[in-house]
Amino acid sequence: MHAATHPLMSGNAASLQRFAAAGMAQLSAADALAVDSHELLRGHKAVEIKHNGAIYRLQTTKLGKLILTK
């Protein structure tokens, strides 16, 4: 799935607030956004994340670990 089509990757704070309101994300004591990896991946093996003009790829391994690459 391309990052532009994923609602969490829109870069829009309102989108993150909607996810938090829907119980898909929660704030920790340090106000860091915690998102379950299953919500990010939505059944896919990988997602693309746009950050500061670069595209990163978050993917799962066969052992269930996560890898973030540029």
Q: Which residue has the higher pLDDT, 18 or 53?
A: 53
- Check whether 52 has a pLDDT greater than 90: yes
pLDDT per residue as tens digits for the range 3-33: 444 454 444 555 566 666 655 555 555 678 8
* Distance (Å, whole) CA 29 – CA 69: 28
pLDDT score recorded for residue 29: 59
String of b and e for 6-29 (b: at least 16 CB within 10 Å)? bebbeeeeeebeebeeeebbeeee
Q: What is the CATH number of the domain that holds 61?
A: 2.10.70.10
The parent domain of residue 22 ranges over 3-69
Provide the number of structural domains found in the chain.
1
- Whether residue 16 contacts residue 27, with contact meaning beta carbons closer than 8 Å, is answered with no
Q: State the chain's mean pLDDT as an integer.
A: 77
Phi and psi torsions of 60, nearest 5°? -95, 150
